[in-house]
Amino acid sequence: TLQNIGINNTQTLAPNIAYFYLQNTLGLSEEAMWKITLEAGSVLGMTPRNLDKKVSLLRRTMNLSDEDVRVILGKQPAVLHYSAERNLAPTILFLVRALDLSKSELRTLILDCPSILGYSLGNLKKKCNFFWFTLGYSDSGENGLDSVRELLVGTPKLLLCAVDTGLVPRVNFLLNE
């Protein structure tokens, strides 16, 4: 019957549809699926293989659990838009090298503020340089790097601040008070 054909076709196609990968494989809730549909709808046109490549990179570099992946995607569905090779991997590598982060520290940083994964390397470098040089942590040598790492892992939202229009004016204000 026609109904049986429709059911069989749906079951055959399910592994090749992003929606089912996100819902069944990653275990995203209906609420998270709606958020993805509204905020990053083109993700639903991607192949499950493409999505799995991105999720696998995140899992591998930060030892993420299934729940961690769901938290990141719930906060920042656009992470699935980023290229694994051109965006995610270079950003993760930069953060690890610039701040000498462990997988656990990187995990903490990204779970709190997954939007950091979408920042350009130039933007992240400018922010790290602000904390390193402008705040004077570079004068402390190795201890300075430890201090910057502790500051940013402890308060990841600092990496969300604009340097020229947010951080620098505030520091200047405090120095002039």
DSSP result, 143-155: HHHHHHHHHHHH-
Note the helical H segments in 40-100.
Answer: 48-62, 66-75, 89-99
For the stretch 41-96, pLDDT in tens is 999 999 999 999 999 999 999 999 999 999 999 999 999 999 999 999 999 999 99
Judge whether residue 8 has pLDDT over 80: no
For the stretch 133-164, pLDDT in tens is 888 777 666 677 888 999 999 999 999 999 99
- Kindly tell me the burial class for residue 115, based on how many C-beta atoms sit within 10 Å of its own C-beta (0-12, 13-18, 19 or more): middle
pTM comes to 0.84
In the chain, the amino acid numbered 75 is: K
For the stretch 31-44, pLDDT in tens is 999 999 999 999 99
